[in-house]
Chain A
Amino acid sequence: MKASKKAQQLAARACGLTAAAFTASAAFPALAFAAEEEEGGGISAILPQMDEFIPMLVAFILLLIILGKFGWPMFQGMLDRREATIKDSLEKAEEARVESERALAEYKAQLEDAKAQAAQIVADAKQTGEAVKADITAKAQAEAEQMISKARVAIEAEKQAAVADLQASVADTSIAVASRLIGQDLSDDEHRAIIARYVNEAGSFNAN
């Protein structure tokens, strides 16, 4: 924008220059008339003296032609070059802006990605942690239960062993008492009665 304004100002200055040239040439005839008046006076004072005016006009027209022929295109070329440079730099600036915007978007996307990944990792870790925690808890519980049941089994076994021990000693004692009673208390006749009964009850020699 600034560049274009500069260009307009430059153009305006160029116009001013041309106008100044005209003013200068207009002032010369006035001087010429003033000199004539001193000689002739009256109106002739303001009229150009032809012998001065013609060369001046010719010089002016020559100058105009030379300037128009050589000066103006040079000037115009300079302006054009300047304009192109300005346009070019403007374009470059625009490109840089777009590029920077794209990069910014890219960085933003990457940042988002990274954030998501971090969240995922955290979530994964959390999940793993939960699973491990549940696992450990379950294991500990199972172990505790196992220990309890083992203790119960052990108690039961001990109880059974005690019962078996007691039973054995009771059996031993009662059998011992019975043996002694039978050995001492039975008379021969009673013995013989038992024998007779057993012989009758006994199985055959040829059995099995």
Chain B
Amino acid sequence: MTEITAQSIDEALRKQLDALSMSVESREVGTVIQVGDGIARVDGLRGAMAGELLEFSGANGKTVYGLAQNLEEDEVGAVLLGDVTAIKENDQVRTTGRIVEVPSGKAMLGRVVNPLGQPIDGKGPIQAEGMRPVEFKAPGVHARKPVEEPMQTGILAVDSMIPIGRGQRELIIGDRQTGKSAIAVDAIINQKNEDVICIYVAIGQKASTVAGIVETLERHGAMDKTIVVAATASDSAPLQYIAPMAGAAMGEYFIYTGEDGQPAGPENPGRHVLIVYDDLSKQAVAYRQMSLTLRRPPGREAYPGDVFYLHSRLLERAVKMSDENGGGSMTALPIIETQAGDVSAYIPTNVISITDGQIYLQTDLFYQGQRPAVNVGISVSRVGGSAQVKAMKQVAGSLRLDLASYNELQAFTQFGSDLDKATQDQLTRGARMTELLKQGRYVPMPVWDQAIAIYAGSEGFLDDLPVQDVVRFRGELLDYMHASKQDLVDRLAAEKKWTDDIKADMSAAIAAFKTQFSTSATA
């Protein structure tokens, strides 16, 4: 570490003074007519473009940036990004000719930034490799290719039944306190050893919640490959509005550039990105506030007419690039919070129709102890199936069947008491399978472990265990497998599917383990 001396600082300053250019070009200027509610009406600026970045010179030389939104005949409605109180009437406004850009690059990894890309984690300035526009047009049809690689979340219920592929947009929807963020955070933690870069965009959340998530990610070693973009509840509506797009822009850097910082291409593969928007309903609320203060006409639920377009153009930026374009991908996990399970509200229906499927979380499941509280019956993944690992696909089919018939029977048999053997068997199997899908937080499972666990269930090894022992059995079985039968797990991972050989060996191994497994005393 070098010493900090007055001389070194002096040198640095001199170096920068040389770079200083005293350009005195003519700029278009306007004046603030009115300011309030985070918006400013500006007189003049006839040449301003929609979405252009405006520079407000506030009191004592403070510069605040704004976003030109409403272009009217003789004035411009702008939203302010930053210190609203520094601006007053008659202040000068200049156009910049740029649209809002955020810094991007590898240096952003492991950092917590605000939606303008400025660090807010106290770890010093970020040496960004470049700037990317916040509003960026999504790649067209022929720059893409279908989703084909799996994006493992490490969550048994999701990876088996609702598989997500790289480049997919999978909605996580549910009431408050049902573990929506937990699924997203677990998915990020599971990318720790994968070649996936994660971006977590927190919109309108408590700063303490965001700090908790950052701490969690750090504790599980996933923060090194994660960027957290935080627009907390105390940030202005425009910042909350722009946050998801800023996150997407930071992610796009990794898709469009290779490891060496050059544009991605056939020889220079783009990177894979997982981006979580937590949550888009708050962004919609922020956008509604902005629009109403800008006096745009309100529509359904007072949202502006273009709130659908707001979300569709954001989620369209999730992409799987074709090989000519480097084959990078951006997987989006938008989160939507429903009120009392109402998925037919405006924003939920919008986003459901935009995404490639949804993970539906339910309060009653959550309180029944089924965690993650995924309702596998109505959760779907429209494109992830083609990206699922073969071994998983083989066992997940029977799992889905077992659970479906279980759910059907369960409702049916609540009245009757005399059940035939077949029905009883199905109930037993279903109860064990449901139990099998339970999983704690921050303990992602590798996909092969998941496959083995489901295999054990679907082959009936769990049927004679007490239900409360299933989770313990699963854990101890996997420990045993890794300790004593690692070669078998390796074989499964190498073959990527269940051959007859592996099946036989696996059944034998599970049976062997089961003899030494002690069930808990049943009271």
**A131 and B23 in contact, given A146-B221, A161-B122, A164-B125 (Cβ under 8 angstroms):** no
Are A167 and B12 interface neighbours, CB within 8 A? yes
B26 and A156 contact, CB distance less than 8 A: no
Q: Return chain B residues, CB-CB under 8 Å to A158.
A: 124
Chain B 505-520 interface mask (CB, 8 Å, partner A; 1/0): 0000000000010000
Interface size, chain B (Cβ < 8 Å): 26
Task: Report yes or no: A203 in contact with B483, Cβ–Cβ below 8 A.
Answer: no
In the complex the two chains form, what is the Cα distance from A202 to B122 in whole Å?
Answer: 40
- A163, B23: Cβ atoms under 8 Å? no
Judging by beta carbons under 8 Å apart, are A132 and B9 in contact? no
Asked if B404 lies at the interface with its beta carbon under 8 angstroms from chain A, I say: no
Scan residues 104-136 of chain A and give those whose CB is less than 8 A from a CB of chain B.
Answer: 121, 124, 127-128, 131-132
Check if A204 sits within 8 Å of B13, measured CB to CB. no
Which A residues, 138 to 189, have Cβ-Cβ distances below 8 Å to chain B?
Answer: 142, 146, 150, 153-164, 166-167, 170-171, 174
Q: Are B26 and A205 in contact (CB under 8 A)?
A: yes
Chain A residues lying within 8 Å of B124, measured Cβ to Cβ, are 156-161, 164
B221 touches A128 (CB 8 A): no
Count chain A residues whose beta carbon lies closer than 8 angstroms to a beta carbon of B: 35
- Across the two chains, which residue of chain B brings its CB closest to A129? B483
- Asked whether, in the complex, the Cβ of B13 is within 8 Å of the Cβ of A127, the reply is no
- A208 to B516, Cβ gap below 8 A? no
Instruction: State the majority secondary structure of interface residues on A.
Output: helix
Residues of A within 8 A of B479 (CB): 128
In the complex, the answer to whether A201 meets B24 with C-beta atoms within 8 Å is: yes
Asked if A198 is at the interface of the complex by the 8 Å CB criterion, the answer is: yes
* CB neighbours of B27 from chain A (8 A): 208
Chain A residues with Cβ under 8 A from B97's Cβ? 208
Give A118 to B484 CA distance when docked, in angstroms.
Answer: 15
CB distance from B503 to the nearest CB of A (A): 22
Bound-state CA distance A207–B124 (Å) is 38
* C-alpha gap A146/B4 in the complex (Å): 27
Q: By the criterion CB–CB under 8 Å, are B23 and A203 in contact?
A: yes
Asked if B26 contacts A204 (CB within 8 A), the reply is yes
Which of B4, B483, B516 is close to A127, meaning CB atoms less than 8 Å apart?
A: B483
Partner of A166, one of B1, B4, B482: B4
Can you list 7 residue pairs at the A/B interface with Cβ under 8 Å? A156-B124, A163-B4, A163-B9, A167-B13, A201-B24, A205-B26, A208-B28
B residues in contact (CB < 8 Å) with A: 1, 4, 9-10, 12-13, 23-28, 47, 97, 122-125, 218, 221, 479-480, 482-484, 516
A-B contacts besides A160-B125, A167-B9, A202-B26, 12 pairs, CB < 8 Å: A127-B483, A128-B479, A128-B480, A146-B221, A155-B1, A159-B1, A160-B124, A170-B9, A170-B13, A203-B24, A203-B25, A208-B97
